[in-house]
């Protein structure tokens, strides 16, 4: 089998997605998600200029070799743009192999370790009481794990909380939106939210929270410690991830489980975290973390240190990434949880999916390959629209982490 053609499909059914389609001489094709929120065209150029010409003529079954060809062979290593491009190629190759052998991808990477995939939903409100109500609505939909985010008194906007009941979508058209942030207000508010949630809903529901990279190590240690009695499933991105050593301080002060990695792209972003057991869950998703090929190695290393997966699954990752994640989640032994934010209905006019939500879990069927498809004609009706992620400033105007 040989690769004869490779296409890029950039579309915007409510938000931007970049999809790679690898076509073979036997008519079998594979899809890979190449979306990097707010930087879609950088990945498209990387693929167009530096990968697609080299893919033509290759045997798509040689996945390990092709991964190393692009990672090692390119000399310049790592980085979100390059690694998203490699991830897309890798996903598409697994899709082709599954289709050609007539089996679902989870059977190529170890088979089913479980029957269904535990997911966490998002609940958000403008204040504590609204967030409590929204968590209740998710419990009514059968979710067993819920991430709670709340507006902060004195701040107009907060990460994870939408306005006017619209679905939360951080990337906006036009130049980046600027919000005002204050960590002291945040640190005073969040423990109150989770104490209230435990009072209302008891101990059985799993609760999660995303600090979105905004605390210093000592602030994160305070938050993790104050949340300890609320028994969170995890506290996510407490401190920005470049500073792996910062987590030693949090760890030495608290037993609140920690998750990180949605902006990481190789195992080298995680080595201190893993080998010093500074975290409990890895969030690096298939689409940005070097595809299934690289993440299988990451999961294997993590398993030695009692660390589990908890992949990023926001709506800016396409249904192709979600399907790839679900195959992975079914197969690896040290799966922990999967983030699940349903896409807008318009997204499903472009992407045909083979997974469904039921009773707190996602279920994927036995369609060969990844099991998702794209309707290129419908995609054309929704052309790319430039959009950026927002940014933060402190109350005095200083640029701050978003
Ligand atoms: C999450 C994430 C997202 C990101 C978004 C950026 O935990 O789901 O933090 O909300 O901010 O994916 O593109
Ligand atoms: Mg996050």
DSSP state of 181: E
Residue 85 host element (H or E) = helix 80-101
Nearest atom, ligand 1, residue 317 CA:
12
Ligand at minimal distance from the CA of 160 is 1
- Burial code of 298-316, b = ≥16 C-beta within 10 A, e = fewer? bbebbeeeebbbbbbbbbb
**Of the ligands numbered here, which is closest to the C-alpha atom of 16?**
1
The residue to mutate among 210, 237, 339, 391, having the most atoms of ligand 1 within 8 angstroms of its beta carbon, is: 210
CA distances from 7 to 21, 32, 56, 168, 383 (A): 5, 11, 11, 30, 16
159 Cα to the center of ligand 1, angstroms? 9
Interior/surface letters 152-169, b for 16+ CB within 10 angstroms, e for the rest: beebebbbbbbeeeeeeb
Cross-strand bridge partners of residue 208: 147, 234
Please, what are the domains in the chain? 3-103 (3.30.390.10), 108-367 (3.20.20.120)
- Give dist(CA 118, CA 338) in Å, integer: 6
Pick the residue whose CA is nearest to atom 9 on ligand 1: 212
Cα distance between residue 346 and residue 101, in whole Å: 32
Per-residue pLDDT of the chain (402 residues; tens, 9 = 90+): 999 999 999 999 999 999 999 999 999 999 999 999 999 999 999 999 999 999 999 999 999 999 999 999 999 999 999 999 999 999 999 999 999 999 999 999 999 999 999 999 999 999 999 999 999 999 999 999 999 999 999 999 889 898 777 778 888 888 899 999 999 999 999 999 999 999 999 999 999 999 999 999 999 999 999 999 999 999 999 999 999 999 999 999 999 999 999 999 999 999 999 999 999 999 999 999 999 999 999 999 999 999 999 999 999 999 999 999 999 999 999 999 999 999 999 999 999 999 999 999 999 999 999 999 999 999 999 999 999 999 999 999 999 999
Atom of ligand 1 nearest to the CA of 283: 7
In 119-204, where does DSSP find H-type helix? Answer: 128-140, 183-201
Environment of ion ligand 2 (residues, CB < 5 A): 210, 262
Distance 314 CA to ligand 1 centre (A): 6
C-alpha to C-alpha distance for 107 and 225, rounded to whole angstroms:
41
Instruction: Tell how far the Cα of 23 is from the centroid of ligand 1, in angstroms.
Output: 31
395, two tokens: 């109350």
- Ligand 1 pocket, Cβ-based, cut-off 6 angstroms: 37, 170, 210, 212, 262, 312, 314, 316, 339, 389
């Amino acid at each position: 089998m040989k690769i004869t053609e490779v296409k890029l499909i950039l579309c915007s059914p409510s938000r931007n997605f970049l999809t790679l389609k690898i076509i073979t001489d036997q008519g079998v094709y594979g899809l890979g998600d190449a979306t990097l929120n707010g930087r879609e065209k950088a990945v498209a150029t990387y693929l167009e200029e530096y990968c697609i010409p080299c893919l033509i003529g290759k045997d798509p079954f040689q996945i390990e070799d092709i991964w190393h060809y692009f990672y090692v062979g390119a000399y310049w290593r790592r980085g979100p743009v390059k690694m998203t491009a490699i991830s897309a190629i890798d996903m598409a190759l697994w899709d082709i192999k599954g289709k050609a052998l007539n089996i679902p991808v989870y059977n190529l990477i170890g088979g089913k370790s479980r029957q269904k995939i535990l997911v966490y939903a998002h609940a958000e409100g403008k204040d504590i009481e609204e967030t409590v109500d929204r968590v209740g609505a998710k419990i009514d939909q059968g979710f067993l794990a819920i991430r709670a985010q709340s507006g902060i008194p004195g701040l107009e906007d907060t990460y994870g909380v939408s306005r006017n009941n619209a679905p939360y979508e951080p990337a906006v058209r036009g130049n980046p939106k600027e919000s005002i942030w204050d960590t002291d207000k945040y640190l005073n508010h969040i423990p109150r939210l989770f104490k209230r949630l435990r009072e209302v809903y008891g101990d059985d529901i799993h609760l999660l929270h995303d600090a979105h990279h905004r605390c210093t190590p000592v602030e994160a240690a305070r938050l993790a410690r104050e949340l300890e009695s609320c028994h969170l499933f995890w506290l996510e991105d407490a401190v920005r991830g470049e500073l792996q050593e910062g987590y030693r301080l949090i760890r030495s002060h608290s037993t609140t489980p920690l998750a990180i990695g949605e902006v990481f792209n190789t195992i080298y972003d995680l080595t201190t975290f893993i080998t010093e057991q500074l975290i409990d869950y890895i969030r690096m998703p298939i689409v940005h973390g070097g595809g299934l090929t690289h993440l299988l190695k990451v999961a294997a290393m993590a398993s030695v240190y009692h660390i589990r997966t908890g992949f990023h699954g926001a709506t800016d990752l396409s249904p192709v990434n979600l399907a790839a994640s679900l195959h992975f989640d079914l197969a690896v032994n040290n799966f922990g949880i999967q983030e699940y934010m349903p896409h807008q209905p318009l997204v499903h006019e472009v992407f045909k999916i083979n997974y469904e939500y039921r009773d707190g879990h996602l279920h994927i069927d036995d369609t060969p390959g990844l099991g998702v498809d794209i309707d290129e004609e419908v995609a054309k009706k929704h052309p790319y629209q430039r959009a950026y992620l927002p940014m933060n400033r402190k109350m005095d105007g200083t640029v701050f982490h978003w």
